[in-house]
Homo-oligomer: A and B are copies of this chain.
């Protein structure tokens, strides 16, 4: 599996009563596959994976694999505070037919980089799916140093990709690309594409992040990988108000936008996550109208 490209993090749709809305999830996966993304990532942080029971995870993975139908890859977020449990979640993903897992370290009372390395090594030793190592200090509270990340790449062949979300991302992406030795893996950027243009400019190999318009991520990445940074910038700048608006904490804004696009039936966020405020929903309509005047967003847009 090639980890260069665009791998949107999917939201998890819920019905108004908080139960899984697998039908919308199916639609979401198919929509992304239809856009030609290189894969989808389910059960990421903004997929509200931390608000799910294990059997719900199973249902979501199975649905994603079925909906992908081999047309696109399925990466499964499998991070868990316990190493054995992480391995259990990786096994679940493998058995259900996923293509890769995404794993981030978890914070311990006494931070210890050796133990973070061991965490990844033990998961790799289980001999399961390729691993996207996620570096997202904002959610994990684990600050992996660049030497640690480079050591993970050099010594653990199961690590197939780095998802870099530690700020400043452009500096860290550049350092990773320059620091990797014989063994090299793709570096994807996340953080809702906030620094997307800049990360791609220093060599990021694509996106692994959520945004309600994956077609825009595809277009920005296509331009950047072709070396057309003027076009990459133009697209990035055009959509930046929307990217920024989605940066607000939680996933409510993105879900409302996915609802506006006809992909989710409801913008329901599981409690205790915040629902979208009415004032925010109004602003969202405003900014969509300003960025995409007259465009029918219920269809794939032309960025």
> A145, A230, A237, A286: which has the most chain B beta carbons within 10 Å?
A237
Taking CB atoms, residues of chain B closer than 8 Å to A54 are 53-55
Which of A2-10, A36-44, A220-228, A270-278 sits within the interface?
A270-278
Interface check A195, CB cutoff 8 A: yes
A133 to B256, CA, bound (A): 33
A100-128 residues with Cβ-Cβ distance < 8 A to B are 105-106, 108-113, 115-116, 118-119, 122
Contact A241/B249 with A50-B82, A118-B271, A272-B108 known, Cβ cut-off 8 Å: no
Which of A67-75, A166-174, A210-218 sits within the interface?
A166-174
A201 to B290, CA, bound (A): 13
Taking CB atoms, residues of chain B closer than 8 Å to A51 are 80-85
Interface check A88, CB cutoff 8 A: yes
Residue of B nearest to A82 (CB): B51
Interface check A248, CB cutoff 8 A: yes
Taking CB atoms, residues of chain B closer than 8 Å to A237 are 237, 240-241, 290-291
A115 to B174, CA, bound (A): 19
- Main secondary structure, interface of A, reads helix
Residue of B nearest to A166 (CB): B110
A198 to B283, CA, bound (A): 7
When all copies of this chain in the complex are counted, the total is: 4
The bracket for how many chain A residues form the interface is: 35 or more
Contact of A168 among B83, B198, B241, B248 (CB under 8 A): B248
A142-159 residues with Cβ-Cβ distance < 8 A to B are 143, 145
Contact of A53 among B56, B85, B116 (CB under 8 A): B85
Interface check A244, CB cutoff 8 A: yes
Residue of B nearest to A84 (CB): B18
Contact with B along A282-297 (1 / 0, CB 8 A): 0100110011000000
Interface check A66, CB cutoff 8 A: no
Shortest A146–chain B CB gap in Å is 9
| Contact status A280-B170, CB under 8 Å | yes
A15-69 residues with Cβ-Cβ distance < 8 A to B are 18-19, 48, 50-56
Contact A240/B233 with A50-B81, A84-B271 known, Cβ cut-off 8 Å: no
Shortest A181–chain B CB gap in Å is 19
Pick 30 A–B contacts, CB within 8 A, sort by A: A50-B81, A51-B82, A51-B84, A53-B80, A53-B88, A82-B270, A82-B272, A84-B270, A84-B271, A109-B250, A110-B143, A110-B168, A110-B274, A116-B272, A118-B272, A119-B272, A122-B271, A167-B248, A168-B277, A170-B279, A170-B283, A174-B277, A174-B279, A195-B248, A201-B283, A233-B241, A233-B290, A236-B241, A237-B237, A240-B241
